[in-house]
Amino acid sequence: MMETVKFEVGETPVVKIKTIGGDLRLSGRRDTQFEAQAPEQGTLTVDQDDDRITVSCRSGCLIFLPAAARVEVEQVGGDARVIGFTNELMMKTVGGDLSLRRVARSTFELIGGDLHARKVDGDLTVDRIGGDAIAEKVEGDVRLRSVGADLVLHNVTGLVEATVGGDASLSLSPKADASSVVIAGGDLSCRLPEDVSVQITMKAGGDMAMPSEVERVSENGATVIRLGDAETAIELTAGGDLWLRVGKMEMDFAEDFVGSVMGELDARLAEMEARFNAIGAGMYTFDAERIGERVRHSVERARRRATKAQERAAKRAEKYAHKYGRRHSITIGGPEPREPLVSDEERLTILRMLEQGTISVEEAEKLLKTLGGED
């Protein structure tokens, strides 16, 4: 059985979440109600003092708030998913993965697992991330002081400050007077728009590749190039290879396609999750959100493999052009075959639900096809 606490609040309540023992989902919505759901044994505690609300729970918890609520979170033991907020969000510690969708300015101290942020209307700041970091469509600055694994930034309009233990793949649209610094322990690739005005300083432990038509100079062991009037500055340092590209390339259509597929998948999973939650407490053990994150991680891995393959081919073409004084066009094939999106454990879970009569044959078939990437 599920325990539910529900009451009216103002449009901009201040919500402080002290401790969540399991997973946390925060959803903003267009009303003035606070609603929290957790298993009865989860010991859900909610205290209200005017427009200030304090929440704690020993288990996982699902919380709905007005979209303009200001949220402060001290500790989440498991994964956290936050969607649909227009006010500032602050979190200290998330033990597992963190997923952000359609949020405003967000600040975090520690994320033990991966970060996946999409559509952030404001600055994104994280002190430490244990796993991968993926951020798409950020209308603000991105400051990631320590990323343990790989970093992917796509469509960032502000400055970027990041230190990455693994590889970094960047797609930036820097504004004037915003200086960015990215340091990667592995390979680093950076894409900039064609009309960008920037000075780029690059250092690499391995090979460097850049457009052959740009002018470059050597300064203090680094390669410096200027594009346009150099109204802003970017410093890129890679322990491995470093690759710079300017303008839209043929491969971009594939990235746009992957992004649209991910958006559609998000919508499908959200619809399914809502239907499953409505069935009752018997569905609580089926974590549709966790399965959805696994699917998204698989798509991101495929995208990164395709990007790396493209970079390797472009660098080979660049070396060939320099050696023989020619320019060559390159055509990149599709990404490597993806790993299966549905694990045996997830498939058995769905079939067990079908056997118990929790879902219909049609729903089970649709869920398997969706998780497998079929229409």
Say if 172 falls within a structural domain: yes
Residues 168 and 226 occupy one common structural domain: yes
CA pair distance 314, 327, nearest whole angstrom: 11
Residue 174, Cβ neighbours under 10 Å: how many? 22
368 Cβ contact partners less than 8 Å away, ≥ 6 residues apart? 342, 347, 350
Mean pLDDT to the nearest integer, 223-230? 89
- 39-59 confidence digits (pLDDT tens): 877 689 999 988 899 999 998
Mean pLDDT to the nearest integer, 19-48? 90
Mean pLDDT to the nearest integer, 80-89? 95
Mean pLDDT to the nearest integer, 162-167? 96
What's the 3-state SS for 231-296? Answer: CEEEEEEECCCEEEEECCCCCHHHHHHHHHHHHHHHHHHHHHHHHHHHHCHHHCCCCHHHHHHHHH
- 262-276 confidence digits (pLDDT tens): 454 454 445 445 444
Residues 220 and 234 occupy one common structural domain: yes
Residue ending a domain, among 86, 113, 140, is 113
Residues 264 and 332 occupy one common structural domain: yes
Residue ending a domain, among 204, 219, 248, is 248
CA pair distance 353, 292, nearest whole angstrom: 17
CA pair distance 182, 174, nearest whole angstrom: 13
pLDDT at 298: 54
Domain of residue 161: give its range: 148-248
Phi, psi of 223 (to 5 degrees): -100, 125
Residues 215 and 272 occupy one common structural domain: no
Residues 165 and 243 occupy one common structural domain: yes
For 195-243, the DSSP string reads T--EEEEEEESS-EE--TTS-EEEETTEEEEEETT--EEEEEEESS-EE
CA pair distance 190, 242, nearest whole angstrom: 8
**pTM > 0.75: yes or no:** no
Residues 238 and 270 occupy one common structural domain: no
Residues 44 and 16 occupy one common structural domain: yes
Token digits for 370?
């969706």
Using an 8 Å Cβ cutoff, are 82 and 101 in contact? yes
Token digits for 156?
């960032």
Using an 8 Å Cβ cutoff, are 74 and 55 in contact? no
Residue 290 has pLDDT above 50, yes or no: yes
Mean pLDDT to the nearest integer, 297-312? 58
Residues 274 and 244 occupy one common structural domain: no
CA pair distance 341, 196, nearest whole angstrom: 38
19-28, 63-72, 222-231 — which is least confidently predicted?
A: 222-231
Say if 265 falls within a structural domain: yes
Say if 368 falls within a structural domain: no
Q: What are the C-alpha distances in Å from 316 to residues 61, 188, 224?
A: 51, 16, 21
pLDDT at 148: 96
Mean pLDDT to the nearest integer, 112-137? 96
Say if 91 falls within a structural domain: yes
Using an 8 Å Cβ cutoff, are 140 and 175 in contact? no
129 Cβ contact partners less than 8 Å away, ≥ 6 residues apart? 111, 114, 115, 144, 146, 147, 148
Indicate the residue type of 210. Answer: M
Number of domain units in the chain: 3
Q: Which residue has the tokens 């504004």?
A: 175
CA pair distance 269, 367, nearest whole angstrom: 9
Using an 8 Å Cβ cutoff, are 98 and 113 in contact? yes
Residues 276 and 240 occupy one common structural domain: no
pLDDT at 229: 86
Mean pLDDT to the nearest integer, 343-365? 62
Say if 133 falls within a structural domain: no
Say if 141 falls within a structural domain: no
- 169-225 confidence digits (pLDDT tens): 999 888 777 799 999 999 999 999 888 889 999 999 999 998 877 888 988 889 999
Residue 7's pLDDT band (cuts 50, 70, 90):
very high
The residue ranges of DSSP E strands in 42-96, in sequence order, are 45-49, 52-57, 61-66, 70-76, 80-83, 89-94
Say if 37 falls within a structural domain: yes
Residues 321 and 236 occupy one common structural domain: no
Residues 259 and 180 occupy one common structural domain: no
Residue 371's pLDDT band (cuts 50, 70, 90):
low
CA pair distance 4, 36, nearest whole angstrom: 6
Say if 322 falls within a structural domain: yes
Residue ending a domain, among 182, 216, 248, is 248
Residues 30 and 108 occupy one common structural domain: yes
Q: What is the DSSP letter of 179?
A: -
